[in-house]
Structure 1
């Protein structure tokens, strides 16, 4: 029986070197062999751990952020509550639990989960079985006029990227090809100029520099920002990467909590890249949304009151539970851990006041 690597190899032999975004899409989403179709990647037994799995505080605070946003929208009687890439459903579970403080919010929410993995949908359905939820493979068709609150944690980093390397004073696209030793990278001379306006100025770069662009991320943020501009609402995405554009190769594979070669065993490991937030924010602004400056996850959670939640949870905790709470808090907000590398990115339209956790929106 052929493997995904066999299929990719055959495609490259037939069509020539494969763009990196195509390779990522095959490796992650192939209907039979794709990484997200074959296994549950999250948690201590998976390949990596996300913020909602580190502590319930993360999801609870996101839930309260959503309630606050809904109130700033004027508490609409119906709105679409959308999560992109909900993982094992832990973030939504914790968010809905904290939202119980405002029953009207839950009554107004039409909950939509956008998930590409059949395996993960089964897990989400079991975890969230007490809530009326609709599942989708792509962003749901929201009726015109219905406000939208959309959240996503570590969703944008999995969207495919393209890489360009400066070679002899010109940008050449890095692609995947086949050698006797397996899959490897190549930078064939490129005549594609479709992304020239998105690449850094050659005068500001040096030979060997690598620039990354995620067209799917830009297209999705553009679509969502236009939807929010016309319907009112807000979006919140938390992911890792630089607030401003940065050069460098961030394409990586994670397997059993360790980094590994992203071109080995496609479909058997998670593939991600850093999110470049600045161009995404510009996309949201150009659609007419308000978009505050990108904020570090640590500062964002502190503004939402994570210290108070630590104290509240610790009141009736055992000594071990208290140590675990403190350790989780540090992991989420510390500059040495997730507090700075991970960023909070939000845009909105129609709010009576700026979104919580950020400075004033532009």
Structure 2
């Protein structure tokens, strides 16, 4: 594979520590302080490598802002509430949500904005987008204030490092990354899988030879941390991402550069690395943290239930023909099954005692208690 400034560092790690897990490779490629993807480039937008829902249409952030306002009212309209976004990108979603929040009496005044973002480069972008707004930044969710909280994450969990199990000869092994001695490039290999990792594979899934199961340990940990915070302090969380609603086999590890898929080992540090979210595992972790869980629903279903179509009509009524076409196409991209409407999904969690949330059906935990299985 083609070399990059990070390649020599990765090869040195392999020489010193042995094969790299996929998770370690992802951490180095995305977050290395000198050559990591998020420390060296502007990833968002047409000129970057990918575009997220808030950049596609203002309706996305506005509807999420109104969702937050409805939940705030539903939980007694506390005089102070932390509005938190994990992985806020440029800050576009938060800016749109705050603008929409102003139409609900008292809600904007109650909000204290907190962003969970470790990258100094991205913090600078967020500071620019949210100029005039008081913001507190956090490296992790563990330092969030001890207060009622509404915690958001859009395409947050997909960027957290995964590990990959592969089924060989009746047992699980772990996929890893090595230096290919033949051509001095990075390549794939396998090694014995740790027992603690194997235990995270659902026993209900029966693997065939060569099946791959992906485990996001960081995602499970963060989901449980967020849930414990909400269960203790009150509030709710809303997370939208691409992935599968039920745990499943499959290799979804992918790289995106210039809006095109590329080999995940090609020029590490120059492409975005992600994997599909296992929403089953995410919500199981949130339930372990003490929260009531809702979902999974598709993004199209969720945004439609929140009223994206009336909002689009309201915007179109004040727009020029060219602007109207852009507004309509952006909304279609968010909700159409052939675009983002089905692959992307929404889940929510809430403090104990919350039995309903806008855009969702009955609590998922209730199904688990009644059937003895965690099912959507």
TM-score, shorter chain, exceeding 0.5:
yes
**CA contact 1:241–1:277 (8 Å) conserved in 2:** yes
TM superposition shift of 1:102 = 2.3
CA displacement 1:234-265 (0-9 Å, x = unmatched)? 00010000000111100000000000011111
Equivalent of 1:71, from 70, 73, 79?
A: 73
For 1:156, the equivalent position in structure 2 comes to 157
Aligned residue number for residue 300 of structure 1: 302
Bigger drift between 297-306 and 260-269 goes to: 260-269
Does structure 1 residue 24 correspond to structure 2 residue 9? no
Q: Does the C-alpha gap of structure 1 residues 15 and 244 become closer, same or farther in structure 2, counting only changes over 3 Å?
A: same
Which of 341, 344, 350 is residue 343 of structure 2 equivalent to? 341
Separation in 2 of the partners of 1:351 and 1:88?
34
- Match of 2:136, SS state, is strand
Report if the CA contact (8 A) 1:244-1:277 is conserved: yes
1:1-362 residue pairs with structure 2 within 5 A? Answer: 3-139=5-141, 141-144=143-146, 146-179=147-180, 180-181=182-183, 182-188=185-191, 190=192, 192-201=194-203, 204-349=206-351, 354-361=356-363, 362=366
Question: 2:141·2:222 contact (CA, 8 Å) conserved in 1?
Answer: no
Query: Distance between the aligned counterparts of 1:333 and 1:158, measured in 2?
Result: 22
Count of residues paired in the alignment = 359
The alpha-carbon deviation at position 322 of structure 1 amounts to: 1.5
How much is the aligned-residue C-alpha RMSD, in angstroms? 1.5
Measured after TM superposition, the shift of residue 203 of structure 1 is: 7.5
Tell me, in whole angstroms, the C-alpha distance in 1 between the residues paired with 2:30 and 2:193: 28
Q: Compared with structure 1, are the counterparts of its residues 203 and 35 closer, same or farther at alpha carbon in structure 2 (3 Å cutoff)?
A: closer
TM-score of the aligned structures, taking structure 1 as reference length: 0.96
Change (3 A) 1:227 1:203: closer
Note the alpha carbon deviations across 1:33-72, whole angstroms, 9 max, x for none. 1100111101011000100000000000000011111111
Gaps (5+ residues) in structure 2? Answer: 367-376
Over 3 Å off, 4+ runs = 200-203, 350-353
Q: Is the 8 A contact 1:73 1:351 kept in 2?
A: no
What displacement does 1:283 show?
1.7
- Give TM-score scaled by structure 2 length: 0.92
